[in-house]
Amino acid sequence: MERLAKIRQLMTEEKLDGLIVTTAANRRYLSGFTGSSGILVISQEHAVLLTDFRYLDQAAEEAKAYGFQVKKHQPAILETVAEEIKAQGTKARSKWGFESENLVEKDYRTLQAKLDRGILTPTEGLVNRLRRIKSVDELGSIRKAVEITDQAWARLQPELKPGRTEKEIAALFEYFQRELGAEGAAFPTIVASGPRSALPHGVPTDKKIAAGDLLVLDGGAVYNGYCSDFTRTVVVGAAPTADQQALYDLVLKAQQAALDGMRPGVTGKDVDALARKVIAEAGYGERFGHGLGHSLGLEIHEAPRLALTDETVLETGVVYTVEPGIYLADWGGIRIEDVVVVTETGIEDLTASPKTIILDSEDRHMVK
Ligand code: GLY
Ligand code: MN
Ligand code: MN
């Protein structure tokens, strides 16, 4: 009910008579409904979740506590949306917000044509404004997702051996996360080894890991609908070379500079600059070609970001990834990624996995 009251308040501020929610994560956030299909139709007096036959019982159960009434839609859902808007007593020329990042143009036209009273009005990031600051329960789910990923990484270490393929490593990691209670992977696991680790989002291949390869693993779990996001870089089957170690230390130093500077009041852009400065001063500025981090929650990438252009001020209760990287073509890449939550005085780093390029496993015996 609390979320419904808050979105209604935002609707008033935005001078909207109603709101149509089509984005899956926003639908779940506002109505509690975890199913894969449905649309919310919200006005000041009514809150309705339209879904199909498969989900009616589940939706009624889940959405009750959130103040939503569940109704079955016709095969053409937009037709039912239009009928529902009419049934909610819409006056002529009333403004109905839709999510412009989500509703495709074809559906927009179809819906507008079916509305005899409301005028569709684009909105952007309305529900996301509520989703930024995580509740205690949401934080609990994110903590658990992060913990599962940490434990899966620990379990994976003895498996990281020369001769195994990137695909095998990715599959094992996702399997361990599931075994530890994850509902699934937050996104397809990235495993890239040797020179391939220079691909920031390297899709795992049949490439066998060779002794001395850098290996970047970037993966996450979903728990209670909430995501974790995690990257570690290690050298497999050999001691790191001086170059590998030096570059690793540089990325770690950049990450630490950002973590040390995060607190309420600074902007996302300021934090990005803290890490970027360390990397740029060492001469690798051009090799760090992505933003420093992003918020996450029901979705793996949420606003706000820690990036060159993000002027959003950090607030207590917002969760971010902090993930600097350096990528050198034909040599390899290094990225380290933690999930943190902003506190009143700084941050709490939720990721507990050690940050070291040396594997915590029998491989260590190969390190002389
Ligand atoms: N795995 C995607 C990211 O780190 O943003
Ligand atoms: Mn990641
Ligand atoms: Mn990330």
The domain spans of the chain are 2-131, 136-349
344 C-alpha to ligand 1 centroid (Å): 26
Residue 321: pLDDT above 50?
yes
Q: What pLDDT, on a 0 to 100 scale, did the predictor assign at position 92? A: 79
Q: Which residues contact 35 (CB under 8 A, 6 or more apart)?
A: 51, 54, 55, 58, 59
Closest CA to 147 of 182, 173, 175, 172: 182
User: How large a percentage of the chain has pLDDT more than 90?
Assistant: 94
Residues near ion ligand 3 (Cβ under 5 Å): 229, 321
Q: Looking at the domain covering 2-131, what would its CATH class be?
A: alpha beta
Rounded to two decimals, the pTM is 0.95
User: 315: Cβ–Cβ under 8 A, 6 or more apart, which residues?
Assistant: 132, 133, 264, 342
pLDDT tens for 22-60 read: 999 999 999 999 999 999 999 999 999 999 999 999 999
Tell me the pLDDT band of 117, cut-offs 50, 70 and 90: confident
Residue range 335-349, pLDDT digits in tens: 999 999 999 999 999
The single residue listed with the structure tokens 């002027």 is 311
For 188, other C-beta atoms within 10 Å of its C-beta total 13
Residue 134: pLDDT over 80: yes
Instruction: Pinpoint the alpha helices (H) of the chain.
Output: 2-13, 24-31, 56-63, 77-87, 105-114, 126-131, 136-156, 166-179, 242-261, 268-281
Quickly name the fold that domain 136-349 has: Creatine Amidinohydrolase (3.90.230)
Check: CB of residue 28 under 8 Å from CB of residue 127.
Answer: no
Atom of ligand 1 nearest to the CA of 186: 1
Q: What is residue 360's predicted lDDT score, i.e. its pLDDT?
A: 74
* Residue 362 pLDDT > 60: no
The tokens 């740029």 sit on which residue? 280
pLDDT for residue 91: 82
Q: What's the mean pLDDT in 56-84?
A: 95
Q: Report how far ligand 2's centroid is from the alpha carbon of 185 (Å).
A: 11
Residue among 149, 177, 231 to mutate when testing ligand 1 (max atoms within 8 A of CB):
231
**Which residue reads 């599931």 in tokens?**
178
Q: Which of 87, 70, 71, 81 is nearest to 108 (CA)?
A: 81
User: Would residue 83 be called left, alpha or beta, if left means φ above 0 and alpha means ψ between -120 and 50 degrees?
Assistant: alpha
| 172-201 pLDDT tens trace | 999 999 999 999 999 999 999 999 999 999
pLDDT > 90? residue 89: no
Q: How high is the pLDDT of residue 361?
A: 66
